[in-house]
Amino acid sequence: MQIAYRCKRANTSHMTAADQAFGRRDAVSPHAVMLFFTSGSLAEPYGYQLYTATRMWPQSPDSDDLPRLLGDLVEVAADNIAALGRAWSPLGPRGSMVNGGDMTLPAGAVYVGAGVSTLDSDRGRWYEVAATLREATAAGRYMSAFNLKGQCYAALVDGTAMHIDRDPHARLGDTGIHCNKTLDPDRITYHNPYSNLTEQGDDETRAVWRQLIALNTILATHLLARRPA
């Protein structure tokens, strides 16, 4: 659940950055990537601290195509592993895949998964929806980016897959979190309509899942193999 709520927070920050730069030369891509790490911490409620390193891109045709963007990252990771071997980390200093968030981790931090923040939603593509923010309503009022929806995907090393729908207007109690595994340990036997989450949705959604899982797999295989026995 911590990762789900961290995704929502990152998506809100992503949307704010994209809204502020909308239409400028430094416009921000509607898609961003998150890498999750944990480190033991007795002071935290669950005994660990969650860290999130992020990557945002400038707006471009390449960065606007999410499956392609993730596929390119898989190739970048493979190339860096081939060139640098066990010394390579997605956090750098050589071949860094991130440019924000928690880029410096404590010793012993462990990779736990990868995620995506996207500003596209069931209300439309980001560029179309964001343009409406600049149009006054009949009452002369402008909408705010904080009224817009966003969504996230996360693939974790234990096989967990989550889709997080961040809706500012969701009903009380509706978290927007869909997961292929139960998030309630007291309901492990209930029917889960999202047990095959990564195979649901349209072609583009399934392509996002395939590429995100591929990215998580190559990073997990490399980073967890580096851990001391």
Tens of pLDDT, residues 48-88: 799 999 999 999 999 999 999 999 999 999 999 999 999 99
Q: What is the pLDDT of residue 227?
A: 62
Tokens 């964001």 found at: 130
| CA distance readout (Å), 40 to 49, 102, 107, 199, 219 | 6, 16, 10, 33, 20
| CA distance readout (Å), 149 to 28, 81, 155, 169, 188 | 17, 36, 21, 8, 30
Is residue 139 scored above 50 in pLDDT? no
Q: What percent of the chain has pLDDT over 70?
A: 90
H/E element, 28: strand 28-40
What's at 2, amino acid-wise? Q
* CA gap 229, 224 in Å, rounded: 10
Tens of pLDDT, residues 6-59: 999 999 999 999 999 998 999 999 999 999 999 987 676 767 799 999 999 999
* CA gap 101, 113 in Å, rounded: 15
* CA gap 62, 84 in Å, rounded: 26
| CA distance readout (Å), 35 to 51, 52, 67, 169 | 8, 6, 17, 28
Collect all residues with Cβ–Cβ distance below 8 Å to 221 and sequence separation of at least 6: none
Is residue 187 scored above 70 in pLDDT? no
Closest to 95 (Cα-Cα) out of 63, 64, 67, 55:
55
pTM > 0.75: yes
Question: What is the dihedral angle through the alpha carbons of 3, 207, 97, 23, rounded to the nearest 10 degrees?
Answer: -90
Is residue 189 scored above 70 in pLDDT? no
- What 3-state class would DSSP assign to 156? strand
Tens of pLDDT, residues 146-178: 788 999 999 999 999 999 999 988 888 889 999
Tally helices (H) and strands (E) across the chain: 4, 7
CB 95 within 8 A of CB 103: no
- What 3-state class would DSSP assign to 33? strand
Collect all residues with Cβ–Cβ distance below 8 Å to 136 and sequence separation of at least 6: 142
Tens of pLDDT, residues 93-135: 999 999 999 999 998 899 999 999 999 999 899 999 888 877 7
